[in-house]
């Protein structure tokens, strides 16, 4: 059970880190009004945020699987 919680926390941390980096990229792109910023926002920021959300959703699904049935 503890191992399952440890795995869940690890995935939540990873999701959080990916999302923070993605949001930072987005913030920089919003401040940097250049055409390249748009590409960076969609490609880097979007990808990082999407990856963070996927990891978070996966952590929810895997937490259900890892929790032993009573």
Partner 1 sequence: MHVPTILLLSLIVLSAVLIGVLVARPSVTATRGGKILAFLVLFLLPSLCMTMGVSSELERSKSTEFCLSCHTMASHGRSLYVDDPAYLAAAHFQNHRVPADQACYTCHTNYAMFGGFRAKFNGLHHVYVQYFGKPRDPIRVYDPYNNRECLHCHLGARSFEEGAVHTADPDLLPAVKANKMSCLSSGCHDVVHNADQLSNVKFWKGAK
Site for partner 1, rule CB under 8 A: 5, 8-9, 12-13, 15-17, 19-20, 22-24, 26-27, 29-31, 33-39, 41-42, 45-46, 49-50, 52-53, 56-57
Q: How far is the CB of 23 from partner 1 (least distance, A)?
A: 5
Tokens describing residue 46: 């979007």
Q: How far is the CB of 69 from partner 1 (least distance, A)?
A: 19
Torsion of CA 9, 15, 21, 27, to 10 degrees: -120
The residue among 11, 22, 10, 13 whose CA lies nearest residue 47 is: 22
């Amino acid at each position: 059970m503890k191992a399952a919680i440890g795995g869940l926390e690890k995935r939540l941390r990873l999701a959080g880190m990916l999302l923070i980096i993605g949001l930072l990229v987005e913030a920089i792109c919003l401040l940097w009004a250049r055409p390249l910023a748009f590409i960076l926002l969609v490609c880097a920021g979007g990808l990082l945020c999407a990856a963070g959300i996927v990891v978070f959703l996966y952590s929810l699904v895997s937490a259900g699987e890892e929790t032993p049935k009573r």
